[in-house]
């Protein structure tokens, strides 16, 4: 865990810089996330693995009461720096152990492009279940797990450069689609919707991103 935390802390500057050019996030991930969430005005929302807080600020601008957590202190510091009205609460936390956050606290939890970099997704999902209200929404986006692997059934870590601008690779965790979904269903969540958005890139014949929406 410490090694992966160091990877994100070390990559934090490059990650923040890369967001300026991240078309996937701007043109696909964010609009699809907002569409799948629906009305969040006045609702309590946890941004799980919030990074530098880009999504958190957006949710706050849409009227949600937002808490962002990430295990990278460097990324949380950047989120705090950009938290101009101090409206968003940010905490350095491991998603697998959300100490200090009470049970049934949130109407929505969004985990944007985070679960596929967590080794112990079972603990993270258990914590999400604990802090979500009954009837609350858990929205996940991940790299689609069904494509791009030579051996789809071989689960475990692999390393990848986030883009050519990064000096060091980041550790990702591959899990099969059934293991991801069954892990979340076994916690007690109900699957409400799946979404494999079409990328604007006309050459793409396979989905790159998978959204999963669950209800507690």
Ligand X SMILES: C[S@@+](CC[C@H](N)C(=O)[O-])C[C@H]1O[C@@H](n2cnc3c(N)ncnc32)[C@H](O)[C@@H]1O
Of the candidates 141, 132, 91, the residue with the CA atom closest to the CA atom of residue 114: 141
Smallest separation (angstroms) from ligand X to the CB of 202: 24
Q: Which of 40, 51, 88, 106 binds ligand X (CB under 6 A)?
A: 51
Residue number, 113 or 181, with CB nearest to ligand X: 113
Distance in angstroms between the alpha carbons of the first and the last residue of the chain: 28
Distance CA 193, CA 136 (A): 14
Residue with tokens 């797990």: 145
In the region spanning residues 6 to 45, those forming contacts with ligand X, defined by CB under 6 A, are: 8
User: Using an 8 Å Cβ cutoff, are 59 and 66 in contact?
Assistant: yes
Residue number, 94 or 107, with CB nearest to ligand X: 94
**136 lines the binding site for ligand X (CB under 6 A):** no
Q: Helices H, strands E: what count in the chain?
A: 7, 9
CA angle 182, 184, 186 (to 5 degrees): 65
User: CA dist 105 to 146, 207, 215, Å?
Assistant: 33, 33, 14
**126 lines the binding site for ligand X (CB under 6 A):** no
**137 lines the binding site for ligand X (CB under 6 A):** no
> Which positions from 93 to 112 touch ligand X by CB under 6 A, shown as an x/- string?
-xxx---------------x
In the region spanning residues 179 to 208, those forming contacts with ligand X, defined by CB under 6 A, are: none
User: Using an 8 Å Cβ cutoff, are 117 and 173 in contact?
Assistant: yes
User: Using an 8 Å Cβ cutoff, are 18 and 161 in contact?
Assistant: no
**113 lines the binding site for ligand X (CB under 6 A):** yes
**127 lines the binding site for ligand X (CB under 6 A):** no
Smallest separation (angstroms) from ligand X to the CB of 50: 6
Shortest Cβ contact with ligand X: which residue?
51
Smallest separation (angstroms) from ligand X to the CB of 113: 4
Residues within the interface to ligand X (CB under 6 A):
8, 49-51, 54-55, 70-72, 75, 94-96, 112-114, 117-118
């Amino acid at each position: 865990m410490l090694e992966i935390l160091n990877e994100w802390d070390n990559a934090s500057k490059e990650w923040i810089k890369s967001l300026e050019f991240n078309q996937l996030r701007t043109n696909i991930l964010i609009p699809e996330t907002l569409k799948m969430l629906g009305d969040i005005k006045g609702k309590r929302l946890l941004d799980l693995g919030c990074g530098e807080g880009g999504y958190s600020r957006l949710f706050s601008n849409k009227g949600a009461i937002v808490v962002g957590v990430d295990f990278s202190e460097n990324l949380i510091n950047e989120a705090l720096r950009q938290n101009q009205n101090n409206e968003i609460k940010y905490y350095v936390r491991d998603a697998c152990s959300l100490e200090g956050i009470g049970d049934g606290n949130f109407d929505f939890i969004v985990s944007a492009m985070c679960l596929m970099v967590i080794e112990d997704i079972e603990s993270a999902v258990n914590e999400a279940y604990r802090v979500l209200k009954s009837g609350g929404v858990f929205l996940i986006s991940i790299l689609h797990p069904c494509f791009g692997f030579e051996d789809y059934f071989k689960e475990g870590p692999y390393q990848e450069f986030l883009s050519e601008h990064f000096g060091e690779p980041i550790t990702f965790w591959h899990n099969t689609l059934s293991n991801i979904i069954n892990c979340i269903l076994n916690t007690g969540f109900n699957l409400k919707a799946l979404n494999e958005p079409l990328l604007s890139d006309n050459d793409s014949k396979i989905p790159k991103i998978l959204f999963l929406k669950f209800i507690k």
